[in-house]
Amino acid sequence: MIYLDNSATTKPHPEVVSSYIKVNDQFYGNPSSIHRFGEKAASLFQKAKQQCSELSGLPEGNVIFTSGGTESNNLAIKGSVYKLADRGKHLITTVIEHPSVLEVFKELETEGFDVTYLPVDRAGVISLDDLKQALRKDTIFVSIMYVNNEIGSIQPIREAGKLIKVHSNARFHSDAVQAFGKMAPEFEILDLLTLSAHKFNGLKGSGLLAVKKGLELVPEIAGGGQQEGVRSGTVNTAGAVALAKAMRLASEQQEKSYHTLQTCNRMLRTFFEGRDEVKVISSKSAAPHILSVTVPKLTGEVVVHALDQKDVFITTSSACSSKLNKKSHVLSACGINDRDIRGAVRISLGSDQTVAEIKEFIKIWQDVIPPLLKGV
């Protein structure tokens, strides 16, 4: 098997799985209980929280553990906007955000908030001039994703953060689900940061929202007041410990894996650029672990299923929308024509990807895809 759908999800690291099983097996007490068994679980939870906070890169940040990126994005946006609603009604995001961001902003529009959706260029990158022009005195919240999940475009987060701080009092949030563990991001400029464990060899159903010290959020979930009242519900001690483990491993391996990702990306790009049936969509400035290409004479589904028969796994677009049969809003925003969108596929690499796997993938592509074009 050659797995090249790592932006959808990654294989859990054995050490992460081991941590999760050990905590659930030996320290399953409820951290809210006042007996020693509960206190031990509470101690593990707090230690994991401290580690995740330090690894998130937000100075003096706090961490709210969630079920993953979607919940973290919802909490970051609604929790901030409702808290700051008396200061203004203007919000800013981009047209290429994940649905867990875009759908929240659309919902807020129906509640009377005014949203500016920043456009992107052909490479999928916003203009800092557009951002500067959009910022207003009543802007209370800005959300800009770090790395796009379909084309790998990287936004100028540091520069955007400086503009936001100078020209507004808005909170700055980034959905960095596709960035952590794959590159060396600059998170210190942010007020809020979304991460999801299964994108960097952690477990599904586990994520976090890192929050700059002193910022208050309106809770999305009411209940027993766990996690400082921001996210009620019995805390998932094993999930938190496993997430901390996954973050530490990803951080330690990031530099080494980045060079491998660059090598694999160059191999793929060189191969595809030399073929008549393929156009490369992702720009050369995109993150190395995501490469979007199109086979205009075929549909993306045909390409995916043909490779599937050879135990090679890629996808047509983001995993969250690939079964919805909807045209990619990201590729449309980049000005890609409908025919190229129809034939688009995404190849996403993992931190443990090998050059040998990419060589084998190229060989299989040469064997499988050209025959499909005969008679088309």
CA 44 to chain centre: 26
Could you give the CA distance from residue 118 to residue 139 in angstroms, rounded to a whole number?
Answer: 14
3-state secondary structure of 177: coil
What is the dihedral angle through the alpha carbons of 193, 95, 139, 132, rounded to the nearest 10 degrees?
100
Question: Residue 230: what residue type?
Answer: V
3-state secondary structure of 56: helix
In the annotation, is 320 catalytic?
A: yes
Phi/psi for 116 (5° steps) reads: -100, 125
Contact call for residues 150 and 329 (beta carbons, < 8 A): no
Could you give the CA distance from residue 287 to residue 45 in angstroms, rounded to a whole number?
Answer: 33
Pairing state of beta strands 207-212 and 61-66?
antiparallel
Single out the catalytic residue among 52, 264, 320, 334.
Answer: 320
Q: Which residues are catalytic?
A: 320
